[in-house]
Structure 1
Amino acid sequence: MSERLVLAAGLALIITLVLSPFLIPVLRILKFGQTVRDDGPKRHLKKAGTPTMGGLIFLVGIIVSAMVAAEQPTSLEMVTLVGITLGFGLIGFIDDFIKVVMHRSLGLRAYQKLIGQFSLAFILMWISVRWLGRGTDVAIPFTSLHWELGWFYYALISLVIVGMTNAVNLTDGLDGLAAGSTMFSGASYIVIALLAAIQGGGVAVLAHETDMAVFAAALVGGCLGFLRFNTYPARVFMGDTGSLALGGALASLAVLTKSELVFLIIGGLFAVEALSVIIQVISFQTTGKRVFRMSPIHHHFELGGWSEWKVVIVFWTAALLCALVGIMAYMPTLG
């Protein structure tokens, strides 16, 4: 098993490292350049024109390596993980294409993105419940209790999936922040998938659960490889193509390992980023005042005088701590 995990992570790392020097110039030639908000931190203005949509690079590495290293690459679990990840990536790609290539500032409208995201969320849940025997109960973090939700499962967990996927997207505002944070979350899902395999028992169950660990390992390797070109000063950005795909990958792992509520802890940094935006919008619309200098919250610290690299390091540390606490929160749920 350890060999397949190393193969998945290593192959994703190598593919991403090899593809990047070739594809980054292509993105630049095609003028797939990043636009920068005028109302954002002024030092970000120099990033305008940096190639974006780089998520395509690590998506190739993640998918290829996961399929190569998996014991059962055509199993429904693996096909679901790959399909949902690519589905969210496609939504991001269309949004990026409209904004970057067609030069329309808005991209997809919010309702269009949400329709696509909720559709993918329901597909993920339906397959998991109806064909993979996942059930409609959710594990309560830090306890052995399971809450049977019935049909309410679809309503609640779809909000978790879509909310957390967009939270990853919101986190992608500083060089290396989203990729590094996702790497830590993905690493926690290697552990969680293996714990689920040990608890589940049986050869068939073991193969399926460990293949989830393989996918998580590929996710870690792809993010690590991308960081070589995405840390400050970034040579390429992942765009919505990459950030939504990463969010979809983590959400898929959460559903298939029955750790949806634990995901809120593992992705605690993402949740805080999204919450900061919600608080800012509500406060400004109701009182006309802003709680933060700028949201998402990583920009608040930038405008407070922190260097971009300092913000990223501190937030990576927070993401690592969230991942470790998430593993601890998951262990009691196995009963």
Structure 2
Amino acid sequence: MSYINIGIIIIIAFIISVVLTKLEIPILRAKAGQNIREDGPQSHLSKAGTPSMGGIAIIISAVAATLIAGLVWGGSVSDMLVILFVFLGFGFIGFFDDYLKVIKKNNLGLRAYQKFGLQIVISVALAVFLANYSQGSTNVYIPIADVYVDFGIWYIPFIVFVVLAMTNAVNLTDGLDGLASGVTALVTLFFSVGGLTYGIASGTYFCAAVCGGCLGFLVFNKNPAKIFMGDTGSLALGGGLAAAAIVMKMELLLPIVGLIYVIEALSVVLQVGYFKLTKGKRIFKMAPIHHHFEKCGFKEVHVVIAFWIFTVICCVIGLGII
């Protein structure tokens, strides 16, 4: 396994993603137009009707490239299947939610308890499997200290928290043209390099494939976006990224290299909590925080580029740690 392998996987996923996204745009435009929040930035109202559910292309391209890499270069089959199970499982939840909202025109989509409940089921299944059948069992790697710590009975709730937090954080980040796809391409590229450094083939293949899939999708998702990934893409990306990081024992690097995800999620938590405590007051002009910057007068494309640059810095810090 080498950087050449990573490059080949990225290129394969990129090509598949570009082709599939181009093909799905006219199909989804006719059936899956995006609804836009009326209380959001006024500039977003023009995006109404933009096809959503484009994450289907990312999912197919990532799965295809991962399987091709596994067949050609080998690797742990069980690790690969576990990661893809979580990736596809969360993608299915997002797809069903999008299907209800944008095709069936049910604005509520899945109920919160249904959506969260399904996420918990998949997260617990992953945690239980890894605790009982993975090579590292309940050990968690502490990067800076360079030691493994056995979490014992706390391993399962810890893993469930990591998966749920990352999945919903990526979902919240998906609010501007090219934001989630660009940030995730950078983060998965980091984990590809990290997986290569630690010699973990399956996780490396998957992260490189997701990177390529996101870059291919970004061709059409950059401002002005011709298509959105929807919950189909964002939930799959969050779940798959978390699963890959956990399998590679790099889960504690997620909040470092994926700090944008953390900030986006925290901005929502703080906004909602402060709003309830103060009976109507707000910390930010709008949450998630990318909308706050828009409300402050920054152009959407400038916010996205700034978040990309910030993520590059976080990934460089992550490389320094590993």
Into which bin does the TM-score normalised by the smaller protein fall?
Answer: over 0.9
Question: What corresponds to 2:212 in structure 1?
Answer: 221
Question: What corresponds to 1:284 in structure 2?
Answer: 275
Q: Which runs of 5+ in 1 are unaligned?
A: 198-208
Query: Letter of the aligned partner of 2:64 in structure 1?
Result: V
Check 1:74–1:253 CA distance in 2 against 1; reply closer, same or farther (3 A cut). closer
Q: Which runs of 5+ in 2 are unaligned?
A: none
In 1, Cα distance between equivalents of 2:313 and 2:198: 21
Matched residue SS, 1:40: coil
Q: Report deviation, 1:74.
A: 7.7
Q: Report deviation, 1:54.
A: 0.1
Query: Letter of the aligned partner of 2:12 in structure 1?
Result: L
Question: What corresponds to 2:202 in structure 1?
Answer: 211
Scaled by the length of structure 1, the TM-score of the pair is 0.92
Residues 87-96 or 109-118, more deviating: 109-118
In 2, Cα distance between equivalents of 1:314 and 1:52: 24
1:41-60 Cα deviation digits (max 9, x unpaired): 01100000000000001111
Question: What corresponds to 1:271 in structure 2?
Answer: 262
* Residues 67 and 73, structure 1, Cα contact 8 Å, conserved in 2: no
In 1, Cα distance between equivalents of 2:228 and 2:25: 10
Question: What corresponds to 2:66 in structure 1?
Answer: 66
Question: What corresponds to 1:315 in structure 2?
Answer: 307
What's the Cα RMSD here? 1.3
* Residues 265 and 326, structure 1, Cα contact 8 Å, conserved in 2: yes
In 2, Cα distance between equivalents of 1:128 and 1:6: 29
Matched residue count: 318
Question: What corresponds to 1:114 in structure 2?
Answer: 116
Query: Letter of the aligned partner of 1:273 in structure 2?
Result: E
Residues 39-48 or 188-197, more deviating: 188-197
Matched residue SS, 1:151: helix
Question: What corresponds to 1:233 in structure 2?
Answer: 224
Whether 1:324 aligns to 2:316 is yes
Question: What corresponds to 1:37 in structure 2?
Answer: 37
1:124-150 Cα deviation digits (max 9, x unpaired): 222222222222122224212333211
Matched residue SS, 1:146: strand
* Residues 131 and 156, structure 2, Cα contact 8 Å, conserved in 1: no
Check 1:294–1:140 CA distance in 2 against 1; reply closer, same or farther (3 A cut). same
Query: Letter of the aligned partner of 1:238 in structure 2?
Result: M
Moved over 4 A (4+): none
Query: Letter of the aligned partner of 1:60 in structure 2?
Result: I
Question: What corresponds to 1:16 in structure 2?
Answer: 17
* Residues 10 and 208, structure 2, Cα contact 8 Å, conserved in 1: yes
* Residues 170 and 235, structure 2, Cα contact 8 Å, conserved in 1: yes
Matched residue SS, 1:188: helix
